[in-house]
Chain A
Amino acid sequence: MTSCFHCGETVPEGVNLTAKINQVEQPMCCIGCQAVAQFLADNDHQAFYQYRDDQLPVEQVSVNDNDWQHLDNADVFKKLTQSTDNNHYQVTIKIEGMYCSACGWLLQKVLQSRPGISDLRINAVTQNLQVVFDSEVIKLSEIFAQINALGYLPLQQQETSQHANYERNRQLKKMAVAGFGMMFIMTLAVPLYSPEAMAVAPHIQRFFLMISMLIATVVFFYSGTDFVNNAIRDLKNRHLGMDVPVALSITLAYFVSIYLSFKQQGHVYFDSMTMFIFFLLLGRFVESQVRHKGMNVRESLFALVPVSAEQQIAEGHFQTIPLDQVVKGDVLRVKSGQTIPCDGLIIKGQAQVNEAILTGESKLIEKSSDDLVYAGAKLVSGEVLIETTVNNQDSFLSKLADLMELAQSKKPASLQLVDRIASYFVAGVLLLAAITALWYGLNQSDALMTALLSVLIATCPCALSLATPTALTAAGVQLLNQGVLVNNTEAITQLDKIDQWYFDKTGTLSDEQLHIVKSHLLTEVTDLPTITNSLQQISNHPIASAFTGYSQIVENPQNHAGKGVSGTITGKDWLMGSQSWLAEQGVAIPELELNPNNTVVYLACEQQMVAAFELAVNVRTGAEALIDFLKKQDKKLTIISGDQTATVNSWSQHLVMDSAFGDLTAEDKINHITKQQQQGIRCVMVGDGVNDAPVLSQADVSISLKQGAYLAHSASDLIVLGKSLLPLIKAQQTSHKTNNIIKQNLIWSLVYNLSVTPIAMMGLLAPWMAAIGMSLSSLLVVMNSRRLLK
Chain B
Amino acid sequence: MNMVFVLVLLSLALAGFAVWALIWAINKNQFDDLDSPAYSILDDDNEPNLPANKAKQETEE
Q: Are B31 and A172 in touch, CB under 8 angstroms?
A: yes
Q: Determine the residue in chain B with the shortest Cβ distance to A98.
A: B36
Docked complex Cα distance between A124 and B37 (Å): 10
Against A, the Cβ 8 Å flags (1 = close, 0 = not) of B17-56 are 0110011001101011111101110111001111111010
Kindly count the residue-residue contacts between A and B in the assembled complex, taking CB atoms under 8 Å apart.
86
Q: Is A571 an interface residue (CB 8 A)?
A: no
Q: Are B23 and A173 in touch, CB under 8 angstroms?
A: yes
Given contacts A104-B36, A208-B8, A211-B12, contact A47 B42 (CB under 8 A): yes
Q: Are B49 and A44 in touch, CB under 8 angstroms?
A: yes
Given contacts A44-B49, A44-B50, A176-B19, contact A125 B26 (CB under 8 A): no
Q: Are A124 and B23 in touch, CB under 8 angstroms?
A: no
List of A residues within 8 angstroms of B26 by Cβ: 169, 172-173, 176
A sample of 27 inter-chain contacts (CB < 8 A) reads A43-B49, A44-B47, A44-B50, A51-B42, A101-B35, A101-B36, A101-B38, A101-B39, A104-B33, A104-B36, A105-B39, A105-B40, A108-B36, A113-B50, A114-B52, A121-B29, A123-B29, A126-B32, A165-B32, A169-B26, A173-B23, A176-B23, A180-B15, A180-B18, A188-B8, A211-B12, A215-B12
Docked complex Cα distance between A75 and B56 (Å): 36
Number of B residues near A (Cβ < 8 Å) is: 34
Q: Is A418 an interface residue (CB 8 A)?
A: no
Q: Are B49 and A113 in touch, CB under 8 angstroms?
A: no
List of B residues within 8 angstroms of A115 by Cβ: 52, 55
Docked complex Cα distance between A113 and B12 (Å): 46
List of B residues within 8 angstroms of A108 by Cβ: 36
Q: Determine the residue in chain B with the shortest Cβ distance to A109.
A: B43
List of B residues within 8 angstroms of A318 by Cβ: none
Given contacts A44-B48, A123-B32, contact A176 B22 (CB under 8 A): yes
List of B residues within 8 angstroms of A277 by Cβ: none
Q: Closest Cβ of chain A: how far from B17's Cβ, in Å?
A: 10
List of B residues within 8 angstroms of A169 by Cβ: 26-27, 29, 31
Additional pairs, 6, CB under 8 Å, beyond known A104-B33, A187-B11 = A43-B47, A44-B50, A172-B31, A173-B26, A184-B15, A204-B1
Give the contacts of A527-585 with B (CB-CB under 8 A). none
List of A residues within 8 angstroms of B19 by Cβ: 176-177, 180
Q: Is A207 an interface residue (CB 8 A)?
A: yes
Contact pick for A114, options B23, B32, B51, CB 8 Å: B51
Docked complex Cα distance between A51 and B38 (Å): 11
Q: Is A25 an interface residue (CB 8 A)?
A: no
Q: Are A184 and B11 in touch, CB under 8 angstroms?
A: yes
List of A residues within 8 angstroms of B1 by Cβ: 201, 204
Q: Are A51 and B39 in touch, CB under 8 angstroms?
A: yes
Contact pick for B36, options A122, A176, A201, CB 8 Å: A122
Docked complex Cα distance between A204 and B23 (Å): 31
Against B, the Cβ 8 Å flags (1 = close, 0 = not) of A188-206 are 1000000000000100100
Q: Is A42 an interface residue (CB 8 A)?
A: yes
Docked complex Cα distance between A204 and B2 (Å): 9
Q: Are A211 and B42 in touch, CB under 8 angstroms?
A: no
List of A residues within 8 angstroms of B42 by Cβ: 47, 51
Q: Top 3 nearest A-B pairs by Cβ distance?
A: A44-B47, A101-B36, A104-B36
Q: Closest Cβ of chain A: how far from B54's Cβ, in Å?
A: 9
Q: Closest Cβ of chain A: how far from B50's Cβ, in Å?
A: 5
List of B residues within 8 angstroms of A123 by Cβ: 29, 32-33
Q: Are A124 and B36 in touch, CB under 8 angstroms?
A: yes
Q: Closest Cβ of chain B: how far from A237's Cβ, in Å?
A: 32
Docked complex Cα distance between A112 and B33 (Å): 18
List of B residues within 8 angstroms of A104 by Cβ: 33, 36
Q: Determine the residue in chain A with the shortest Cβ distance to B27.
A: A169
List of A residues within 8 angstroms of B44 by Cβ: 47
Docked complex Cα distance between A180 and B12 (Å): 10
List of A residues within 8 angstroms of B43 by Cβ: 109
Q: Determine the residue in chain B with the shortest Cβ distance to A47.
A: B42
Docked complex Cα distance between A560 and B1 (Å): 96
List of A residues within 8 angstroms of B35 by Cβ: 100-101, 124-125
Q: Are A207 and B8 in touch, CB under 8 angstroms?
A: yes
Docked complex Cα distance between A47 and B51 (Å): 17
Q: Determine the residue in chain B with the shortest Cβ distance to A102.
A: B39
Q: Closest Cβ of chain A: how far from B20's Cβ, in Å?
A: 10
List of A residues within 8 angstroms of B5 by Cβ: 207
Of the listed residues B18, B32, B42, the one surrounded by the most CB atoms of chain A closer than 10 A to its CB is B32
Docked complex Cα distance between A208 and B42 (Å): 49
Give the contacts of A345-399 with B (CB-CB under 8 A). none
Q: Closest Cβ of chain A: how far from B10's Cβ, in Å?
A: 12
Q: Determine the residue in chain B with the shortest Cβ distance to A215.
A: B12
List of A residues within 8 angstroms of B40 by Cβ: 105
Q: Closest Cβ of chain B: how far from A413's Cβ, in Å?
A: 34
List of B residues within 8 angstroms of A114 by Cβ: 51-52
Docked complex Cα distance between A415 and B58 (Å): 65
Docked complex Cα distance between A770 and B33 (Å): 36
List of A residues within 8 angstroms of B52 by Cβ: 112-115
List of B residues within 8 angstroms of A176 by Cβ: 19, 22-23, 26
Docked complex Cα distance between A201 and B4 (Å): 11
Docked complex Cα distance between A516 and B51 (Å): 44
List of B residues within 8 angstroms of A172 by Cβ: 26, 31
Q: Closest Cβ of chain A: how far from B35's Cβ, in Å?
A: 4
Contact pick for A204, options B4, B53, B55, CB 8 Å: B4
Docked complex Cα distance between A112 and B36 (Å): 16
Q: Closest Cβ of chain B: how far from A43's Cβ, in Å?
A: 5
Docked complex Cα distance between A745 and B35 (Å): 30
Docked complex Cα distance between A121 and B11 (Å): 36
Q: Determine the residue in chain A with the shortest Cβ distance to B38.
A: A101
Q: Are B4 and A125 in touch, CB under 8 angstroms?
A: no
